[in-house]
Amino acid sequence: MKWKGGRRSSNVEDRRGSGGFSTGGGGLGMSGMAGGGIFGIIIMIIIALFGGGDLFGGGGSTPTETPQTGITETSNKTEDEMAEFVSVVLAYTEDAWTQEFANNNMEYVEPTLVLFSGQVQSACGVAGSQVGPFYCPADQKLYIDLSFYDQLSQEYGASGDFAMAYVVAHEVGHHVQNLLGIMDQVQGYRGQVIETEYNELNVRLELQADYLAGVWANYVQEQGVLEAGDFEEALTAAHAVGDDTLQKQYQGYVVPDSFTHGTSEQRMRWFTKGFETGDLSGGDAFNIGYDELELGIDFDGPVALRRGESEHHPYGRQQPDQIVWLRAYS
C-alpha cells in the first residue's frame, strides 16, 4: 500500500506508555519510514478478535488514565512505523465512510483509534493484548496493541502492510455497524435465543464487517494507493482468522456450532464481495439463509466451497427475523 505521505488521522490516542513526545491533534510526529505492516491473529481471538466476544457491546467503567492525543515516539522504530501506518489507514477509512454515508444522506461520525501495550481500559471493560484488536461500541473506539503484529505474522503467515490495513478496516466496519444500529439489534438477541443461534448472528455480524472492509479496500483502490499483492495479503489474513482454520490448528477438529466469526472461505468471500461491490448496497448478511453466506463468488483461494455446499451446514439455516440492514436498501 502506498501510504507514505498520506494524511494521518488526528483521532488517535496513544496509551503505550509515558515519555517521549506527543504531536497533539495533528497526528504522528515521526518522519515516515518504509512500509512493512505485520498482521496476524492469536487463538484467543476466537472469542474477541475483530470486535466480537465478551467485549461486544459491553458496559463497564470509562478509562481512568489520561490519554495522549497523537502518537508518542518510542524506542521501537518498527512499532512506531506501524503506529504511523495505522494512523494513515484510519484517515483513509474516515475519507471513505464520510463519502459513502453522504451518498446515503447520512453523516459519518469518526471513531478513535487507541494504541496500547499489554492491557487497556475501555468502556467495555479491561482487555489484555491476548484478545487481539477489538472495537468497543460503548465508547466508539478501536483498540490495537501493535506488538502483536510481529508475532501474528510469524505464527499465522498473514504478513504485509495491507493485511494490517484489513484489521483496521474490519474494526472500523464494526463502527459502521454501530452507527447503523446493527450492533444494537444483534445485541438485543442476547439471552433471547439459544447459544448456537446467537453464535450464528455473530457470524453474520463479522462477515458483514469483512464486507465493509472490502468496501473500504475498493475506495483505496480508486485512490490509486493499492500495490500489487495488497488484495492477496488481505485475503490471506481473512483466511488465517477463519473459525475453522483456527480450530483445526489449535484443537485438531472443528465445532461449527461454536463458530462466531465465520469460516475462512466465508471471510474471504465477504471481503471480496465488498471489494467488488464498492458500496453498502450488497452488505446485508442477515436477511439471507445461513447457507447463503457462502456466496457465489468464484476465485482461486485456499478453500473451494460452492454456494449451498458448506461442509459445516449442509442443510442450511434460516435467517433471523427483523434485522434491519439499511433502510435505503431494505
CA distance 36 to 154: 14
Q: For residue 72, what pLDDT is reported?
A: 56
Give the start-to-end residue ranges of the domains of the chain.
12-294
CA distance 111 to 90: 9
CA distance 328 to 210: 20
Extract the C-alpha cell encoding 294.
Answer: 457462502
Kindly write down the DSSP assignment for every residue of 200-258, as one continuous string.
HHHHHHHHHHHHHHHHHHHHHHHTT---TTHHHHHHHHHHHT-HHHHHHHHHSS--GGG
Side chain identity at 303, as an amino acid letter? V
Which pLDDT tens digit goes with each residue over 23-76? 333 222 222 221 222 233 333 333 334 444 333 333 333 333 444 555 555 557
Q: CA separation (Å) from 6 to 99, 164, 177, 204, 241?
A: 18, 16, 26, 33, 28
Q: For residue 151, what pLDDT is reported?
A: 62
| β-pair type (112-116, 141-144) | parallel
CA distance 217 to 172: 12
Question: For the chain, what's the residue count?
Answer: 330
Residues in the chain with pLDDT < 70?
18-75, 151-152, 295-323, 325-330
- HSE at residue 15, side-chain half, CA atoms within 13 A, is 23
